[in-house]
Structure 1
């Protein structure tokens, strides 16, 4: 039941914060592997990006990828919060009856890694859908994400970075988005990147350190409300269940 309630709480938060996830994804893919000033800046900041997406693609475009986003949140945060709750109740986060900061951090990190890893395939689908736009940024998959030659390499490469996102939001989040969304050739190999380190190196070389922090504003505007709403809904659902 802990996993179910945690997943439902994360889904509730996702309904409100998914538009910022769309904005973040578009901004992270904008100007991929191109130097500053060499491409048209369609999205100047999180507010301008929100307005532009609404104006060009319509209001519904701000909820692109909502279904896989909900499934991802249900899986990732359901596992993360549910696992942590079980560890806490079992006493693994305490020492001699007192809460241990170190054990709590380790338990939270392990629960987060497990959630990110297991929910990674859904994150791949979400990224592909959210990247689709009239103003093309990044590779446009046209919903063909389940063909082996269009997702397997990106999935296995992106898993590593998605785990790091649990510990630090950006720049790992930028790398994760790009690995998941990169096109592949007819042999199923990534066209842009061979893996995490290759993506990191090429991004810095082509775009500078700035490239690793694209979409940071949207990321942090999203993280705060999402975390607060997730914990609020989780606590309320647990109260309701106990009654």
Structure 2
């Protein structure tokens, strides 16, 4: 009947979406921080023309355990958690808001729209998260340095305070451009490929909207994202860890890093650390999206009283 009022669609409040995004990323970080450490060490190995410290990821793990102990594998955890609290909170919160805005009549947007909103969310999140990112890079790199050259940050807040005091507040955003570029690539690939992979899996007769489907979509998304983002990531990592020698930075910019890596270490060195990167990004993607989907679903069912709710990505 035309006089009937349509029941308004209940949506998760934007503040809750931001909270869930950050909580999901921080939960995943507890599991994958050691892999992030190994990835960073692999990418810094060979920096400045020095001999490569680690030929394989397994060699890197063995070296860390031998030289820094069992707790050394969790170096930089506080920075990793703050990075998720800033970067992931912002990017996933903005992505889910934009996703809802462009979803007409309950239909998901097409792949290119997903990629565009993923890039937007990633760029904003990366800018917010760069100070924590640079702290994470330095804290995970410290154990590979000679004792006299180590920065020895006590935790991420000590790192942020000392960087500001010793090098100026602008240094907290050093490497911001490649960080934002990487985040745009990662989020365009990760968020769009996750949504697309999930949509594809649900179109088959083998999957339902459950944890198994979220796991499969996350692993596909992680592989696509790793291949697409590693060259930008290695540029970001080296710029954020570089030192200023006699007033001159080691690298002029991201392009200079890429040119130097290809010339001195070979083209495929742009994907150096692929195994720990995917081993980190795959599970992190899986855990983040599983946590996020489940939190969205639980909130919708128990707070919004929507018994038919799904995860919403």
Match of 2:93 in 1: 82
Match of 2:167 in 1: 149
Match of 1:119 in 2: 129
In structure 2, the CA distance between the partners of 1:225 and 1:33, relative to structure 1 (3 Å rule), is same
> How far did 1:161 drift?
1.2
User: Given the alignment of the two structures, is residue 7 of structure 1 paired with residue 18 of structure 2, yes or no?
Assistant: no
Q: Deviations over 1:169-214 (max 9, x none)?
A: 2111111000000002465x52x11212222222222222243222
In structure 2, the CA distance between the partners of 1:104 and 1:95, relative to structure 1 (3 Å rule), is farther
| TM value normalised by structure 2 | 0.68
Contact 1:25/1:177 (CA < 8 Å) preserved in 2? yes
Greater RCO between the two (CA within 8 Å, min separation 6)? 1
Q: Which moved more, 1:210-219 or 1:121-130?
A: 210-219
Counterpart mapping for 1:1-243 below 5 A = 1-34=16-49, 39=51, 41-90=52-101, 92-94=102-104, 97=107, 99-133=109-143, 136=146, 140-143=150-153, 144-149=162-167, 152-153=170-171, 155-156=173-174, 158-166=175-183, 167=185, 168-185=228-245, 187=247, 189-190=248-249, 192-242=250-300, 243=302
- Distance in 1 between residues matched to 2:108 and 2:48, nearest whole Å: 50
**RMSD, matched Cα:** 2.4
Contact 1:149/1:186 (CA < 8 Å) preserved in 2? no
Contact 1:154/1:181 (CA < 8 Å) preserved in 2? no
> How far did 1:55 drift?
1.7
Contact 2:130/2:172 (CA < 8 Å) preserved in 1? no
Aligned length: 234
Hey, which of these two has a bigger chunk of helix by percent?
A: 2
> How far did 1:240 drift?
3.1
Contact 2:20/2:295 (CA < 8 Å) preserved in 1? yes
Q: Deviations over 1:67-122 (max 9, x none)?
A: 111111121111111111111222x2448955322211111121111111211111
Give ranges in structure 2 of 5+ residues lacking alignment. 1-15, 154-161, 186-227, 303-313
In structure 2, the CA distance between the partners of 1:140 and 1:155, relative to structure 1 (3 Å rule), is farther
Contact 1:23/1:218 (CA < 8 Å) preserved in 2? yes
In structure 2, the CA distance between the partners of 1:217 and 1:147, relative to structure 1 (3 Å rule), is farther
Contact 1:23/1:50 (CA < 8 Å) preserved in 2? yes
- Distance in 1 between residues matched to 2:286 and 2:242, nearest whole Å: 32
- Distance in 2 between residues matched to 1:235 and 1:145, nearest whole Å: 37
Q: What SS is found at the alignment partner of 1:116?
A: helix
Rg bigger for which structure?
Answer: 2
